[in-house]
Amino acid sequence: MNTLPSNVLRHAQRIVMAQDSTPVSPCAADNKGNVVLCAAAAVAAAALEIRSGSQERHLFEKELATSGDSGRVRDVFTSFGWSTELCNILMRQNDSFSDRRRTELVSGLLESMA
């Protein structure tokens, strides 16, 4: 399993912490209508934003919210040369956390990987 770049993981952690909540994979809309991302989707969004800017990140989030397809997250991992198994592990770990503590635990997970 390959590792993820530290700068991407730190940015993904900031994305997660800025959300009102962290959903089960891959994403959801919060009570304000904003797209909130799971751990793996936050990593994908962070990587896209670092590489191509916020417009690319927002396009990814919009596509993900419309489709609800976790495969889109895997596609981003693949495009960066990262293992889809690593993506799947992040999704499973994210989804295993309780709703109440998911944001805190996902943040800690991303921090420990950075």
Q: Residue 1's pLDDT band (boundaries 50, 70, 90)? A: very low
CA dihedral 37, 42, 48, 54 (to 10 degrees): 60
pLDDT digits (tens, 9 = 90+) for 43-73: 999 999 999 999 999 999 999 999 999 999 9
In the structure, what pLDDT confidence band is assigned to residue 3 with cuts at 50, 70 and 90?
confident
pLDDT at residue 2 above 70? no
Residue 3's CB is within 10 A of a number of other CB atoms, namely: 11
- Arithmetic mean of pLDDT, 91-105: 97
Average pLDDT score over residue span 81-85: 96
Burial class (CB in 10 A: 0-12, 13-18, 19+), 48: buried
- At 28, which helix (H) or strand (E)? strand 27-29
Q: Which two tokens stand for residue 5?
A: 């770049």
pLDDT range class, residue 106, cuts 50, 70, 90: very high
